[in-house]
Structure 1
Amino acid sequence: MQSSGCLLILFFLPLLLISPFSSALSDAQAAFIARRQLLGLPENGILPENFEFQINLGFTFPNSRLRRAYIALQAWKKAIYSDPSNFTANWEGDDVCNYNGVYCAEALDDPKLTVVAGLDLNHADIAGFFPAELGLLTDLAFFHVNSNRFCGIIPKSLSSLTLLHEFDVSNNRLVGPFPSIVLEMPALKYLDLRFNNFEGELPRELFEKDLDALFLNDNRFTSTIPDNLGNSPVSVVVFANNQFSGCIPSSIGKMANTLNEIIFFNNTLGGCLPAEIGLLANATVVDLASNSFEGILPKTVNGLKHVESLDLGYNKLTGVVPESLCRLPSLKNFTFSNNYFNGEAQGCNPALRKDIVVDDGGNCLPDRPKQKLQNDCKSVVLKPVDCGKSKCGAAPPKPEPPKPKPLPPKPRPQPPRQPPPPPPPVHSPPPPVHSPPPPVFSPPPPVHSPPPPVHSPPPPPVHSPPPPVHSPPPPVFSPPPLVHSPPPPIHSPPPPVFSPPPPVRSPPPPIFSPPPPVFSPPPPVRSPPPPPPIFSPPPPVHSPPPPIFSPPPPVFSPPPPVRSPPPPPPVFSPPPPVLSPPPPIFSPPPPAFEDVVLPPNLGAEYSSPPPPIFQGY
């Protein structure tokens, strides 16, 4: 009893350490909450059919939808581990429409029914996770939970929220790949995933959705930007502070009619800027800073007629900054510092422009202060990039599948020799084979890497008026958080430890001798004839020398006593290969949830828009 009590204390220790007062979650606490969520999710994260009818409630409700809402909200309250402001203190009883943060309205399909139409828990500082029961809230139009401490993943059951218009889970501790369940929300217009720990690739389907605003910044996405980017009708899209690579797709020009803001700040994008970027005549904010763009500016860049803030800083751009770019009619802030420009028009000289803010420092401009050293400039300026041969916008080549390894050549047949009769069967197990284990080709999961220290304050806002979206523009001009290692993948499969090793194509080695090479053909058996069925050891055997493939080791012990009938007549074929037991594989164990660590996320302070006002809500 004492030992079991100690185990319970150790199991719930992270929970006991979660303070009821507002504080950032430690990595151990966030991992504990995520683990509890995974243990409680149903199979495939989807609720079984008629799930709500399996629960007996002591209340009666005006309609079945409010009953489902009660089940969902009570399950969510049980998934909360810290509520320092007692935001959910009144989540008791059957009147769910009076719960804090819960908004009810008439159902869109039946005005006689009252349903839960929205949830707004912004800035409540709640620590917990999303239970699968939230999928019962099928009448939700908006789901706002930004600036909390929710951990774990977004359950698949939320794909049933087919009326959802706004989905804001920003500034939490959510993990996993891109939450593909949002692709199954047909009415979604506003998607905000910023300031979390999502990772991996972006699906192409994301840019086929009819979204108005898309915030992906300050996560850990590590893919190229899909080449169908231009199919998206968004007015604002933010890729900042991730690890996107490759080029800007040339399809970006198709966004000319709708795009107001596009921000690529602080990624690892490269190549030349596509000429189609000049087609974004309605864009007011274009931020390409802190990447690896190279080459000269496209001549079409003066087509940004409505741009107010243009940032090209901290890249590898060369050539001359043209007068037409610096004289754009709406331009208020133009930064092209820390590149390799070796010329600028007179209208781009900050000393001569008092009507706009211009920053040209850290370039290769003659007679300008705070420029690069001449030797640093030569390494780039004297090696111009031919943007006409650039492959920007093209999908990266798919890696070729690994070619199958050729089989080892078959040994040449030797003239048949009449071997002596095979030895009697030995019923003792063969000696252990000390051959090295086959290589395991899956890399071990990064479990013990420390979380990245994030000590920077929330980034300042963009220096331009916000787009016509129901949420303020994202903070993007701050230095990115120092991300030294990705978080541990919770859903990644363990290394293939249990796959069978390749069969060993060699006969079992003689007792007390090392095994022959694994892939060598079996040598002809020249073992002595079996002794007569007596209990005395046979005379010593003087066998002829073996073939060149492997020398037979001397026999240092007499064969075991044989209690079987005489052996069969001589066989003129070599013995069949014996499959020796698989060698032990000393691969590392799969990651345990106890070792999962997540980086802290200070996030930023911002507010989601008020509940949408449209017909029916």
Structure 2
Amino acid sequence: MKKKTNFKLHFPSHLSFLLLISFFIGFCSCEQKQHSISSHGGLTEQEVLYIKQRQLLYYRDEFGDRGEKVTVDPSLVFENPRLRNAYIALQAWKQAILSDPSNYTGDWVGSEVCNYTGVFCAPAPDNKKIRTVAGIDLNHGDIAGYLPEELGLLTDLALFHINTNRFCGTVPHKFINLKILFELDLSNNRFAGKFPEVILRLPKLKFLDLRFNEFEGTVPKELFDKDLDAIFINHNRFRFNIPDNFGNSPVSVIVLANNNFHGCVPSSLGNMTGLEEIILMHNGLRSCLPEEIGLLKNLTVFDVSFNELLGPLPDSIGGMVSLEQLNVAHNRLSGNIPASICQLPNLQNFTFAYNYFTGEPPVCLGLQDFDDRRNCLPDRPLQRNAVQCKSFLSKPVDCGSFRLIGVSYASPPPPPFY
């Protein structure tokens, strides 16, 4: 049974508006979703092809954003022109939907668009006397279809959440008109093609979630210059080297896991002083970990597992006082585990299995949750055999051979943590 929501909130002043959006971030969970194409069910390859062909026809129609594909009944009465535009956009979208098993769009009929399921209205930010569509939330609808260009008519849209559906195709170019879009969640769908560069032209965007799709190719380096708070692009098919300007990003959370990134972990990472969580697992990163990561005093989660990282763990990690989860498993790291890491006050989980570490301080054994299997640690169970250890450790690692761009400091750098 679908849920109807009566959205009565108002667009307030700029600061209050940000607080309102923060409420939505809390309300609309951004926990990692489980991705399963088979769970979508019911969409044949022929239907997928049909949807893609339909969307391509829209691209050939230069007037696609004006709603010529939607006939507006002259008997319909709208509160204001913006809600009329919203009607055109939503009716075009309804026509682009091939499957709606829970009938979310069943009540998308008539001029009262603010009563449509999943559509939320509020006073316009530039005119409190009129209502306009402020948000769309069709999460977990299992809806199949594509996004028509007419959605660009929703110029007052702040939230667009359609995670866990079966939408495919690409992101419409006319999204460029969504100048106050704050949150964009397209996760757990079937979108494909290159990174949707229209995202780079959304000036108010703070929350970006593209995870669990079929996007491919490179990620524009300009993404890391945008004033975003959260970036989730994990579980796609992106393939590129992490750029030197990666550390310019002001995000608090960034997840790039399960793509095909290569290159170094840039030392500019140390510039990201507001960073709280970073997950780079299961890519192709090949370098040493830079000392500059010790500058991330607010970081709680650091996961670089399942890469090809080399060399020792930097002593500076012992200064990451907020760290709770540290996962460097399944790499080629070696040397001694610094005792200062295991003495971090908030550390709950330290996983460094499947590496080539040769020394482990006794204090690590007292951690609540840690995993040291398949290393080269004397007198510890479940380690690599002597032949494996000797073969790997006989080849010294030169961390200076990796191209790492330095961190910029507002003041002289602090001394290393020992």
Per the TM alignment, residue 356 of structure 1 is displaced from its structure 2 partner at its CA by: 1.7
Aligned partner of 1:67 in structure 2 is 84
CA distance in 1, matches of 2:171, 2:156: 18
- 1:38 pairs with 50, 56, 74, which one? 56
2:208 aligned partner, one-letter code: L
CA displacement 1:491-549 (0-9 Å, x = unmatched): xxxxxxxxxxxxxxxxxxxxxxxxxxxxxxxxxxxxxxxxxxxxxxxxxxxxxxxxxxx
**Alignment of 1:307 onto 2:327:** no
1:200 paired to 2:212: no
Structure 2 SS opposite 1:317? strand
- Residue 216 of structure 2 is aligned to residue 218 of structure 1: no
Q: Per-residue deviation at 1:32?
A: 2.7
Q: Deviations over 1:2-37 (max 9, x none)?
A: xxxxxxxxxxxxxxxxxxx97253444323312221
Answering whether residue 301 of structure 2 is matched by residue 285 of structure 1, we say yes
The residue aligned with 1:384 is 396
Secondary structure, aligned partner of 2:52:
helix
CA separation in 1, counterparts of 2:90 and 2:82? 12
Any residues of structure 2 matched to 1:441-520 within 5 Å, and which? none
* Per-residue CA distance 1:414-459 (angstroms, 9 max, x = gap): xxxxxxxxxxxxxxxxxxxxxxxxxxxxxxxxxxxxxxxxxxxxxx
- Please tell me whether the aligned partners of residues 302 and 325 of structure 1 are also in contact (alpha carbons under 8 angstroms): yes
Structure 1 unaligned residues grouped into runs of 5+: 1-20, 395-617
Could you list the per-position Cα deviations for residues 437-492 of structure 1 after superposition, in whole angstroms to 9, with x for gaps in the alignment? xxxxxxxxxxxxxxxxxxxxxxxxxxxxxxxxxxxxxxxxxxxxxxxxxxxxxxxx
Given candidates 153, 171, 175, the residue that maps to 2:192 is 175
Superposed CA offset, 1:215-243 (max 9, x none): 01000000011111111110000010110
1:380 deviates by 1.5
Cα displacement string for residues 540-596 of structure 1 (whole angstroms, at most 9, x for unaligned residues): xxxxxxxxxxxxxxxxxxxxxxxxxxxxxxxxxxxxxxxxxxxxxxxxxxxxxxxxx
Contact 2:264 2:288 in 1 (8 A): yes
Query: Matches of 2:370 and 2:70 in 1, distance apart?
Result: 66
The whole-number CA distance in structure 2 between the counterparts of 1:178 and 1:53 is 27
Bigger proportion of residues as helix: 2
Deviation, structure 1 residue 51: 5.7
Alignment of 1:111-260 (within 5 A): 111-256=128-273, 258-260=274-276
SS at match of 1:143: strand
1:402-421 mapped onto 2 (5 Å cutoff): none
Distance of 1:322 and 1:185 partners within structure 2: 44
Equivalent residues in 2 for 1:20-59 (5 A)? 23-43=41-61, 47=64, 56-58=72-74, 59=76
For residues 115 and 214 of structure 1, the distance between their equivalents in structure 2, rounded to whole angstroms, comes to 28
CA separation of 1:319/1:54 partners in 2, compared to 1, >3 Å: closer, same or farther? closer
Aligned length: 367
Task: Tell me the alpha carbon deviations over residues 43-94 of structure 1, each in whole angstroms, 9 at most, x when there is no partner.
Answer: 57x746x667996542231211011000000000000101111111000111
Q: Structure 1: which amino acid aligns with 2:351? A: T
1:64 & 1:216 partners in 2: Cα distance?
36
Cα distance in 2, alignment partners of residues 378 and 57 from structure 1: 79
Q: What code does the residue aligned with 1:392 have?
A: L
How has the CA–CA distance of structure 1 residues 326 and 245 changed in structure 2, closer, same or farther, with 3 Å as cutoff? same
| C-alpha contact (below 8 Å) 2:216/2:238 kept by paired residues | yes
Name 2:104's counterpart in structure 1: 87
Alignment partners' CA distance in 2, 1:376 and 1:220:
33
The answer to whether the Cα contact below 8 Å between 2:67 and 2:150 also exists between their aligned partners in 1 is no
Where 2:128 maps in the other structure, the secondary structure is: coil
Cα separation, 1, equivalents of 2:226 and 2:207 = 11
Percent identity between the aligned chains?
Answer: 53
Q: Which whole-Å CA distance do the structure 1 matches of 2:271 and 2:383 have between them?
A: 37
2:79 partner amino acid = P
Tell me the CA shift for residue 384 of structure 1: 1.5
Contact 1:124–1:148 under 8 Å retained in 2: yes
The residue type paired with residue 41 of structure 2 is: S
Deviation of 1:140 after TM superposition, in Å, equals 0.4
Consecutive unaligned residues of structure 2, counting only runs of 5 or more, are 1-38, 407-418
1:300 CA displacement: 1.5
Equivalent runs, 1:506-545 vs 2, <5 Å: none
CA distance in 1, matches of 2:135, 2:45: 31
TM-score scaled by structure 2? 0.84
TM-score by length of 1: 0.58
Displacement of 1:318 = 0.6
Deviations along 1:240-294, whole A, 9 cap, x unmatched? 01100101111100002x1000000111111111111111111000001000000
Partners of 1:202 and 1:226 within 8 A in 2: no
CA RMSD of aligned residues (A): 1.9
**Misfit runs of 4+, over 4 Å:** 50-56
Residue 360 of structure 2: aligned partner: 344
Q: Which residue type is aligned with residue 152 of structure 2?
A: G
Partner of 1:506: none
Q: Equivalent residue of 1:40, what SS?
A: helix
The code of the aligned residue for 1:23 comes to G
Residues 318 and 342 of structure 1 are in contact (CA less than 8 Å); yes or no, is this contact kept in structure 2?
yes
What is the CA–CA distance in structure 1 between the aligned matches of 2:376 and 2:109, rounded to whole Å? 67
Task: Say if 2:289 is the partner of 1:273.
Answer: yes
> Is the Cα–Cα contact under 8 Å of residues 264 and 402 in structure 2 kept in the other structure?
no
Q: Is the 8 A contact 1:237 1:263 kept in 2?
A: yes
- Tell me what 1:367 maps to: 379
